[in-house]
Amino acid sequence: MKLRDKGFSTDKKIDHFTVGNDRELDLQLAKYDVMASKAHAKMLGKIGLLTHKETQELVQELDAIASRIERGTFTIEPSFEDMHSKIEYLLTLSLGDTGKKIHTARSRNDQVLVAMHLYLKDELSEIKSMTKELFDLLLKKAEEHKNVLLPGYTHLQIAMPSSFGLWFSAYAESLIDDLYFVDAAYKVADQNPLGSAAGYGSSFPIDRSFTTKEMGFETLKFNVVAAQMGRGKVEKATAFGMASIASTLSKMAMDICLYMSQNFNFVSFPDELTTGSSIMPHKKNPDVFELVRGKCNKLQSVPNQLTMVINNLPSGYHRDLQLVKEIIVPAIQDMKACLEILTFSLEEIQVNDQILEDEKYDYLFSVDTLNELVQNGMPFRDAYKKMGQEIQQGTFTPKRDISHSHEGSLGNLCLKEIKAKMEKLG
């Protein structure tokens, strides 16, 4: 069954190529098509295109379909092109001609659009919630380990003293920046495109403000052509939000892979969170974090993938746009999986509190030792030269009792301020 069925069939090869994996992807989106169909049915009743009885029957049957979706018993067989055709078939099977009326004043195009907007709103909210959960864990770990010093590196060379408090809270605060992008994507998604039909509106006197309120959208995408041009754009906005989070998670995963190695030995994890080797019995591999790194690097390519599909398309609908679904839906699942596994694993991180006992880290304290000379009256340039000579001659004695007090330093992490910044995001 196809919504565009005119009484003749297309070649099976054409069907297979054009449908692709839409049926599988639509199982993720079906509940949102039902939500939109309920709002649409009520609107059709409000403007007199459906009787009160027909409206009630459609809403009741759509609720029954929603229950099937919730239970996991809703399927889209190969005889159906997509979720829209299957849902309309079920309505018609149950309600006869009343079921056939559900497609009045809408196109499959704005059905896809509104379902995607509703889906992305939910998924972005969940991604934000999961990111906040990771944020809370990172701040907790920062507080727990704030006094444990950690070598800081520039150019992968020993640089200055850092701490696990700084390290954990750095990634926490970075997630706030990422959520600014997620919130921006949510604003793009929180606009109702339903009623744009095939991209040029309808001659029916539909009430788009009614469906906007019914579905919980903040506002309308008023211009019907602009609504159509939003297809692909809302997915791209979402992808940028996820790519920002992925950038933070990928960097942290890379840190962990380094810090777990015997050459660093800064952190470790229980055996059950690591993997072994098929031939080397001593191995405790950071496979989880390597996969997070790889998946998050893939996620950072998603905005470009979407750009390559939608770039230079003129206004109006084009079948190319079907392909954005198969890019964004799996990407969202990967994003949530990475957030979940990082939060799960980092809860069990084990921190080495004896790192700086190794004399190779003495040079971490050269800047603090130099600064003490400056505070005692020596010009900075002279102190710098004196310290350089001592290091060159092997006579350098590090000042280990360091004191960093400014905002955001290892002695003043500003964890409350960072938490307050996140709370402002809502």
Instruction: Show which residues are catalytic.
Output: 155, 277
Alpha-carbon distances, residue 360 vs 213, 222, 371, 396 (angstroms): 64, 64, 21, 12
Q: Are 145 and 164 in contact (CB under 8 A)?
A: yes
CA distance 328 to 323: 9
**Distance between alpha carbon 232 and the CA centroid of its chain, in Å?**
16
- Compute and round to an integer the Cα radius of gyration of the chain: 29
Owner of token pair 């507080």: 143
Q: Are 121 and 186 in contact (CB under 8 A)?
A: yes
Owner of token pair 């599909």: 309
Residue from 182, 47, 31, 197 nearest 108 by CA: 197
**Distance between alpha carbon 16 and the CA centroid of its chain, in Å?**
31
CB atoms within 10 A of CB 93: 10
Task: Compute the C-alpha angle 366/372/376, nearest 5°.
Answer: 150
Pairing label, strands 219-220, 191-192:
parallel
Q: State both tokens at 335.
A: 């994003």
Q: What are phi and psi of 58, to 5 degrees?
A: -65, -45
Task: Indicate the helix (H) or strand (E) that contains 154.
Answer: strand 149-154
Helix (H, G, I), strand (E, B) or coil at 205: coil
Task: Compute the C-alpha angle 414/419/421, nearest 5°.
Answer: 95
CA distance 331 to 30: 18
1 by Cβ neighbours in 10 Å (0-12 / 13-18 / 19+) ranks as middle
